[in-house]
């Protein structure tokens, strides 16, 4: 992901670009907000004007003024509600849209860009970072435009009373709503990003601790782990305290500026009155108008510290959305019916670590090909290249006489089923876990796949049958049962090519025998490529390919 920081205005413009589909609603929110603030301001201004005009001595006019003020106050409430409704409608619609884009991006980046990535930071981005963007869309975009618009209107109104007063009002609004937030924003920008990064690191550390809790307890690392969590939490709290300190300074500066400019306006208009350049009403109205109109720019000033958090979150989300995948999906290529595979002079390295060197082999249709070799010889990597999780550095992989890079990705996935040595199980029912291989499958098809994987009798013996819920990460079933669920998924997917990566590596001889039996009986008419280092699996293959520890075959 990107490490170079962007300017706040750049982040805001990119985030605002996502508002385009909601522009009519955003416009309505801004108009309602401007009218609402003007109502709030002119309640005070109207009261001052009435007082200066001396209409309170006439009871009928007094009643009318009272009704007018009450009406403006009620209208202000409705306008404020409408503005907030529109802003939150936009925010939550856009958050759903952004989440959809982020998950689509993660799918594009998988697996090459996400393998080895800090999962806690990713979780932080797709949960709290996106959630905090609600502050930007609901409480930042329209307040900025509302603050600017209301300030311009009030400068013109005050300037109509006195040009000098209008100039002072412009300086006051610019200072409170612009200069102070910009200065404080710069001071807290890096702290906001560091705070979000530390939050992601803490999430990763806690997630790792929860997953390894058995080992932590077994080897007496509880106290050490707790101390590390406390240290990371203290660091995070330190950043938060610094942000709170900056927020307190910003609020103090804002209040001081409001006070000084209000006093300045009072003395300016007194001077104008004494010089005979302003009437009594022209002296009082600008003072009342400016004092009552700081609300929109104070709202802008208060954004600065929350904005540090929000812009940091926005930048992290934008960085993820803009990250380029290592492997682009093919959508305008060719579809194939699986026939065979030819690997021609393939070389591949993970960055500087060479894994495969000049590998060539032929995988024949409807045969079981066993690939064996020492750890680190590139067996699993070869399967991932056949899945096109990565592209080769040089050489070619040909499937059904077509270069794998020219085959439509969706069609390629339909041709392949892939079973890894560590089957991932979701916290869901057994039926739903198997149905990942074909989400549209009926329960009868799921049961048939389970029978092929020698799993049906085990499931039928459970109290909940196929609706039995599995624990998180599948910790309520054994390793052999996990592998058979993975195998059932592959059978349900019913692809002509079955790729197996060490399917029996972590199993005892009994479970290994069950899975090998399932493979023998359940893969008739299919092409099977199995990576293994176990001698007991050798007799099941039609073709055995040996890979040495230099990545050659």
What is the band of 295 on the pLDDT scale with cuts at 50, 70, 90?
confident
Alpha helices in 440-478 (DSSP H): 443-452, 456-460
Burial environment of residue 215 by CB neighbours within 10 A (0 to 12, 13 to 18, 19 or more):
exposed
**Quick one: which of 194, 196, 185, 201 has its CA closest to 131?**
196
User: Averaging pLDDT over each range in 193-207, 292-306, 337-351, 366-380, which range is the top one?
Assistant: 337-351
Q: Is the pTM of this model over 0.75?
A: no
User: Which domains does the chain show, CATH number per domain?
Assistant: 8-322 (1.20.1560.10), 341-425+477-547 (3.40.50.300)
**Quick one: which of 201, 177, 137, 188 has its CA closest to 312?**
188
Compute the C-alpha angle 371/375/377, nearest 5°.
60
Dump pLDDT digits (tens) for 392-446: 999 999 999 999 999 999 999 899 998 887 788 888 899 999 999 998 999 999 9
Burial environment of residue 322 by CB neighbours within 10 A (0 to 12, 13 to 18, 19 or more):
exposed
What is the band of 151 on the pLDDT scale with cuts at 50, 70, 90?
very high
Close Cβ partners of 89 (under 8 Å, ≥ 6 residues apart): 25
Q: CA gyration radius for the chain? A: 34
Dump pLDDT digits (tens) for 186-213: 776 667 667 777 777 777 777 777 777 7
Percentages helix, strand, coil for the chain (3-state, rounded to 5) are 65, 10, 20
Partnered with residue 341 across adjacent β-strands are: 363, 399
Compute the C-alpha angle 8/309/176, nearest 5°.
65
CB-CB contact of 92 with 308 (8 Å): no
CA 88 from centre of chain: 19
What's the token pair of residue 540? 């099941």
Q: Which residue has the tokens 């032929």?
A: 362
**Percentage with pLDDT > 70 across the chain:** 90
Confidence at residue 59, expressed as pLDDT on a 0 to 100 scale: 47
CA 546 from centre of chain: 43
Mean pLDDT score of the chain, rounded to an integer? 83
Burial environment of residue 308 by CB neighbours within 10 A (0 to 12, 13 to 18, 19 or more):
buried
Q: Which residue has the tokens 């023998």?
A: 520
What's the token pair of residue 350? 């993970």
245 vs 415: which has the higher pLDDT? 415
User: Averaging pLDDT over each range in 19-33, 239-253, 504-518, which range is the top one?
Assistant: 19-33
Instruction: State mean pLDDT over 353-366.
Output: 88
Residue 162: CA count within 13 A, CB half-sphere: 26
CA separation for the pair 70, 89 (Å, rounded) = 29
What is the band of 116 on the pLDDT scale with cuts at 50, 70, 90?
low
Cβ atoms < 10 Å from Cβ of 525: 7
């Amino acid at each position: 992901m990107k490490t170079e920081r962007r300017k706040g205005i750049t982040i805001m413009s990119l985030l605002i670009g996502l508002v385009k589909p909601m522009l009519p609603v955003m416009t309505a929110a801004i108009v309602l907000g401007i009218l609402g603030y003007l109502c709030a301001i002119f309640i005070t201004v109207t009261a001052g004007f009435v007082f200066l005009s001396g209409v309170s001595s006439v009871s009928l006019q007094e009643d009318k003024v009272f009704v007018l003020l009450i009406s403006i106050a009620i209208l202000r409430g409705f306008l404020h509600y409408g503005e907030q409704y529109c802003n939150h409608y936009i925010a939550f619609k856009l958050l759903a849209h952004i989440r959809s884009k982020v998950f689509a991006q993660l799918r594009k980046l998988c697996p090459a860009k996400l393998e080895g990535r800090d999962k806690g930071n990713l979780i932080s981005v797709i949960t709290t970072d996106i959630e905090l963007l609600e502050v930007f869309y609901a409480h930042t975009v329209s307040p900025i435009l509302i603050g600017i618009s209301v300030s311009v209107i009030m400068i013109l109104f005050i300037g109509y009373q006195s040009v000098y007063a209008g100039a002072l009002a412009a300086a006051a609004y610019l200072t409170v709503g612009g200069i102070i937030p910009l200065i404080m924003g710069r001071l807290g920008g890096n702290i906001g990003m560091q705070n979000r990064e530390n939050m992601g690191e803490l999430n990763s550390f806690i997630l790792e601790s929860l997953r390894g809790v058995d080992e932590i307890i077994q080897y007496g690392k509880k106290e050490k782990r707790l101390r590390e969590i406390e240290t990371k939490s203290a660091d995070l709290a330190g950043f938060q305290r610094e942000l709170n300190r900056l927020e307190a300074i910003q609020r103090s500066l804002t209040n001081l500026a409001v006070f000084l400019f209000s006093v300045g306006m009072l003395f300016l208009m007194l001077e104008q009155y004494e010089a005979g350049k302003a009437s009594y009403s022209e002296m009082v109205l600008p003072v009342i108008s400016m004092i009552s109109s700081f609300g929109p720019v104070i709202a802008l000033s208060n954004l600065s510290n929350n904005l540090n958090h929000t812009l940091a979150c926005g930048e992290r989300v934008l960085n993820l959305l803009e990250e380029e995948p290592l492997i682009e999906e093919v959508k305008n290529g060719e579809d194939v019916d699986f026939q065979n595979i030819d690997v021609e002079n393939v070389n591949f390295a993970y960055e500087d670590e060479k894994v495969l060197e000049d590998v060539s082999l032929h995988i024949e249709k409807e045969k079981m090909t066993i690939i064996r070799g020492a750890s680190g010889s590139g067996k699993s990597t070869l399967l991932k290249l056949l899945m096109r999780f990565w592209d080769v550095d040089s050489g070619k992989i040909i499937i059904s006489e077509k270069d794998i890079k020219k085959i439509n990705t969706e069609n390629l996935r339909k041709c392949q089923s892939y079973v890894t040595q560590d089957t991932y199980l979701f916290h869901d029912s057994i039926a739903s876990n198997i149905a990942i291989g074909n989400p549209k499958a009926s329960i009868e098809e799921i049961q048939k796949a389970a029978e092929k994987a020698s799993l049906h009798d085990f499931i039928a013996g459970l109290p909940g049958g196929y609706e039995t819920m599995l624990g998180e990460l599948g910790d309520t079933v054994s390793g052999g049962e996990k592998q058979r669920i993975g195998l059932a998924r592959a059978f349900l997917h019913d692809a002509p090519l079955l790729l197996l990566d060490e399917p029996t590596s972590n199993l005892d001889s009994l479970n290994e025998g069950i899975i090998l039996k399932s493979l023998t009986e359940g893969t008739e008419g299919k092409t099977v490529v199995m990576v293994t280092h176990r001698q007991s699996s050798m007799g099941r293959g039609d073709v055995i390919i040996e890979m040495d520890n230099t990545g050659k075959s």
